[in-house]
Amino acid sequence: MHDLMSEKKNIKFPEDALVLVHRIMARYPPGRQKSAILPVLHLAQAEFDGWLSSPVMDYVASLLGIKPIEVYEVASFYSMFNLKPVGKCVIEVCRTGPCWLMGAEDIVTYLEKKLGIKTGETTPDGMFTLKTVECLASCGTAPMMQVGEKYHENLTCEKLDEILGEYRKNTEDHISHWAKDKIKSKEA
C-alpha cells in the first residue's frame, strides 16, 4: 500500500511533456478533455517505459479530469497500449484475414520458436515482446508486422531472421513504441 502510494506520487510527466498535454487538451472545448485521451496515453506510454501501469492511468485520468475507469476502458481496448511491462522491441504480428491467408500463423509460430516465448510473453533478456494484433492496414503486403513505428512487410522466415538480428544490434533505449520526440513533433 505504501509502495503504491509513493509510486503514485512519483508519477509525473516531465515539464515539456506536461506543456504538450495541456496544448493537446486545449484543442477541445471545456468539459470535453476526454477527447485528448489517445494522444495523452501515447505520450504516457512513451514517457513511462513503454507501458501503462494503473498509477500511470490514474495520473492521466486526473490530468484529463475523468474517472480512472474511463482511461482503463480505452487503454484496454486498443492493442497499441501495453498494460504490462514489455521488452525493448514489441513485435505486433497482424493476424487478420489477408495476413492469415498469407501465412501469419506460420510467422507467429516461427517467432515463438525463435524467441522461445509464447504470444503475449517477453523474452527473459527483456529484448522482445510478441503480440498478435488486428489489421494494420497493410493487407497488400501481407503477412506483416509492426515494431514500434516501423512496418515489416511481405514477411518470410529468412526475413524475420534478418529483422531480429538488426533489432538485437540496435542499442536505442526504446524502440518498442512511438518515440517521445516523434510524438512531440507531431503534436506540437
Q: Is 94 in the site for ligand FES (CB under 6 A)?
A: yes
Residue (71 or 108) nearer to ligand FES, CB: 108
Q: Is 135 in the site for ligand FES (CB under 6 A)?
A: yes
Q: Is 103 in the site for ligand FES (CB under 6 A)?
A: no
> What amino acid occupies position 163?
I
**Smallest separation, CB 93 to ligand FES (Å):** 9
Q: Which of 108, 103, 99 has its CA nearest to residue 141? A: 99
Residue 177: CB atoms within 10 A of its CB come to: 22
**Smallest separation, CB 120 to ligand FES (Å):** 19
Q: Which stretch binds ligand FES (CB under 6 A): 29-37, 75-83, 93-101, 107-115?
A: 93-101
Buried b (16+ CB within 10 A) or exposed e, 150-174: eebbebeeeebeebbeebeeeeeeb
Here the cell at position 33 is 478533455
- Residue 172 half-sphere exposure, CB side, CA atoms within 13 Å? 14
Give backbone dihedrals phi and psi of 163, rounded to 5 degrees, phi first: -60, -45
For ligand FES, which residue of 11, 70, 98, 114 counts as binding (CB under 6 A)? 98
Q: Is 144 in the site for ligand FES (CB under 6 A)?
A: yes
Q: Is 80 in the site for ligand FES (CB under 6 A)?
A: no
Q: Is 82 in the site for ligand FES (CB under 6 A)?
A: no
Q: Are 143 and 135 in contact (CB under 8 A)?
A: no
**Would you tell me the crossing angle of helices 2-10 and 54-64 to the nearest 10 degrees?**
50
Residue (125 or 149) nearer to ligand FES, CB: 149
Q: Which stretch binds ligand FES (CB under 6 A): 15-23, 92-100, 120-128, 178-186?
A: 92-100
Residues that bind ligand FES (CB under 6 A): 94, 96-99, 135-139, 142, 144
